[in-house]
Homo-oligomer: A and B are copies of this chain.
Amino acid sequence: MKAILVVVGDEILLGQVVDTNASYLGQAFAASGLELVSKWTVRDREEEILEVLHLAMSKADLIVFSGGLGPTSDDLTKPLLTKALGGHLVRNQKVENAIKTWFEARGLEPGPMNLAQADLPDNCTLLNNPLGTAQGMLWLHHGVHVAALPGVPYEFKHIVDQELIPYLKTTGLLRPMVHHTLMVAGLVESSIARILKAWETKWRPEGIRLAYLPRPGLVRLRLSLYANECDESLDFVLAAIQGRVQLAAQEIKDLLEGYVYGENELSLEECIGLILKRKSQKIFFAESCTGGALTARLVRVAGASDYVFGGVVAYTNELKVNFLGVKEEVIIAQGAVSTEVVAAMAQGAALRYGTDYAVAISGIAGPSGGSVDKPVGLVCFGIQGPQGTYAYHRSLGAGRELVIERAVMTAMFLLWRVLIDQPVMDS
């Protein structure tokens, strides 16, 4: 079943509101075997709304409108769709009473514009909205389903989950599909593509599609497979394609061993937290150029206090000596940004604060502070673990915020490899 989303609202096009309904609907539909094939955002203008309605009617089996159902004069969706789909607005007594109750519960009196939200099309199915005063509507017109939902995100989501998708499932029009996502760190998109070339040749003819979804410092690999039309029962078909996708995913995991740290949206900080929690071990952070961003990333995970003992931002040499016991001679001889100093920082941190692991970062985030030997973007990482001390240096490009973000991601990747006893060994 092909679906098109039409988002109505000047505020979206002016960038005053980030549209989160679209990604929510995309995910909910993908998980239900509905294909969202495109999304159009239009202004609060009659002719533009009608134009996309007609265009979408020729392209999709389902059109979902989001927004424009409020009580004010720029809310055009309801009267326009009602008329275009051959109906009339009629006062719905039950909904009118619900609106009165909704306002009374908040100690308010509904105005005529609020009550007019009970004027509803006489040719649609209502999609109940217990969270607000705008009802959802669903028409079936010349074989195309047209739904209109309020744009307020929690109302939109509620109606999608509780009303729209359950209804669509009863139609038998959804094509079953399975998807599975692998989380990859430490490799860029193009390197992954090179490694997976033979895999793609093997699995593409089977209908498995592979999407590269990059995030800063990560690539998510999404495998997906639609079921073909067949006579078998749906459960049987889903189990079969699930099996194929798992097999294909396992081959990727083998090909990218040491880089696939998890599955299905697990973040690297959650992955690290799970390992430390399982081992009942603790960690300490000693950050210079990242200024606390690594510690903050780990602490963002609920329950981090179980394994994050603490951290220091040793932004000056003085603090590297005082907090971490780094010898001043080493800093003078090698410079604060050196593998020797980060190794000493990590060792000192684990020793002084009594943790199993410690991670140290020192680098040149820029824009100033670089030299020929040590250019902007050079970042050193020290990791202390039960097996010893590891030190690395990496060139992370330019742009202060980017260097910091990449340093955080790189540190987490290197730490993860130490945690799983496969430390990265620089040649």
Contact = CB atoms under 8 A, between A and B. Distances in A.
Interface in A346-384: 353, 366-368, 377
A287 B292 contact: yes
Contacts of A43: 37-38
A117 B285 CA distance: 39
A404 interface: yes
Contact of A193 (B71, B190, B308): B71
A408 to B, nearest CB: 9
B10 A302 contact: no
A105 B16 CA distance: 38
Contacts of A38: 13, 40-43, 48
B16 A27 contact: yes
A105 B368 contact: no
B40 A13 contact: no
A312 B311 contact: yes
A113 B193 contact: yes
A289 B303 CA distance: 11
Interface magnitude class on chain A = 35 or more
A27 B13 CA distance: 8
Contact of A14 (B30, B111, B303): B30
A71 B310 contact: no
A126 interface: no
A124 interface: no
A66 to B, nearest CB: 13
Interface string A184-197: 00001111011000
A350 B232 CA distance: 71
A40 B40 contact: yes
B299 A310 contact: no
A305 interface: yes
A172 to B, nearest CB: 23
A25 interface: yes
B11 A211 contact: yes
Given A190-B113, A313-B311, A16 B296 contact: no
A293 interface: yes
Contact of A305 (B27, B154, B315): B315
A15 B300 CA distance: 23
A111 B187 CA distance: 14
A60 to B, nearest CB: 12
A74 B310 contact: no
A188 B99 CA distance: 14
11 contacts: A14-B222, A15-B213, A16-B27, A16-B220, A19-B22, A71-B189, A72-B190, A106-B395, A108-B188, A295-B313, A311-B313
Interface of A: 10-20, 22-30, 36-43, 48, 70-72, 74, 102, 105-108, 110-111, 113-114, 131, 152, 154, 181, 188-191, 193-194, 211-214, 220, 222, 285, 287, 289-296, 298-300, 302-305, 308-316, 319, 323, 353, 366-368, 377, 394-397, 399-402, 404
Given A18-B20, A113-B194, A293-B300, 4 more contacts: A16-B213, A72-B189, A299-B315, A304-B315
